[in-house]
Amino acid sequence: MPESPPEDWVLRSDADKRDKARVARHERRFELREIAVAQLRELIEFWGPRTLIICTQVYGMEHMLEAGYDADDSSHPRVIGQYHGSFTGAQNTGNDLRRVLKAYDTVDRSVFLTAAYAEEFRKKGLNNTYWVPNPVATPAHTEKERSNTFVALGRYDEEKSLHYLLAAWNEVSEQLPDWRVELYGEGPLRPQLQSMIDDRSIPRAQLMGKTDQVGEVLIGSKVHVLTSQVEGLPIAIVEAGLLGVPTVAFDCSPGIRELIDSERTGLVVPKNNVRELSEAMLSLAEDHETLSSMSEACAAESKRYAPGKILDQWEDLFFQMSR
């Protein structure tokens, strides 16, 4: 686009449609989109069949199709389409599943984060599925002494459902007087989470806000907790693992068990089960030997997501497509 698209352009309500400035932004956004698609149409012809395009988001492929991309046209580029969410997440959004099936129907490969996700999408009709996880580099950090801290890394929103972590911690905090909980992130539910801490007088629990020092946060803690309602293949679990911090997580998607070998590299508990979450947190805090063993195991296991190893998988895919 020749300029950045305007913000707050969607017309969701009657009030939006009566807002002349918002309507103007809406119209301008689609004017810019038409310009961009026209330029993309020219590029598709220029790139030709020796070019490989990776659409890292579904909307990228939708733009390609709008610009006239035709997988059956031998003069057009080859295309790989990626989807970074889970199959369940795609179903729950209402639109994502339909969009993925439509946009990636004729591309050379549609790439998902795990073999399980690829299989689920294949069952829905995609016959070009493949899977490659995202690469994860070890977060920058300086060595320091770990503190008795449960840490969460995620937005303060409904999907991350951090109130379950606070509720679980409230159940066991008296038994762990030298431990604390720190929640790093930002989001719309910050007031509600703070009210929960204040109203229940939950001890040693703090909303830390956003951080760009993920490595420093993780290296200074002992257990990472993830209470999401849905996930794809959460990078936070791998980042924590690379720094020797095992994760206690809700069993919210196949990607969780792809990353955590429960009882060996972390603990997976039933989704939204506060009692089992609190028991898992308590068991790791009180069993130093198990926690140490899990720390070593998750650090070793997480190395399979190193950028070099994931690059090898992409090169294997490129080689397959070149034959």
Range of the domain at 252: 149-304
Both 185 and 56 in one domain: the answer is no
224 domain-assigned: yes
For residue 139, tell me if it sits in a domain. no
The encoded tokens of residue 307 equal 């950028």
Residues 226 and 191 in one domain: yes
Distance CA(267)–CA(246), nearest Å, equals 8
76 and 154 in a single domain? The answer is no
Q: Stretch 203-216: mean pLDDT, rounded? A: 97
Is 6 domain-assigned? no
Q: Would you state the structure tokens that stand for residue 14, as one six-digit string?
A: 């009657």
Cα dihedral 178, 184, 187, 189 in deg (nearest 10): -10
pLDDT tens, position by position, 262-312: 999 999 999 999 999 999 999 999 999 999 999 999 999 999 999 999 999
CATH number at residue 178: 3.40.50.2000
Residue 320 lies in a domain: no
Same domain, residue pair 172 and 258: yes
Place of tokens 């939950």: 202
Identify whether residues 159 and 299 lie together within a single domain.
Answer: yes
DSSP character at residue 38 = H
Residues 199 and 101 in one domain: no
Q: Which residue has the tokens 């996880």?
A: 133
How far is Cα 42 from Cα 45, in angstroms, rounded to an integer?
Answer: 5
Tell me: the pLDDT tens digits for 4-47? 999 999 999 999 999 999 999 999 999 999 999 999 999 999 99
Tell whether 144 is covered by a domain.
no
Locus of tokens 């196949």: 254
**DSSP string of 187-204?**
-TTHHHHHHHHHHTT-TT
Q: Do 199 and 76 fall within a single domain? A: no
pLDDT digits (tens, 9 = 90+) for 163-179: 999 999 999 999 999 99
Check residue 18 and give left, alpha or beta (phi > 0: left; psi -120 to 50: alpha): alpha
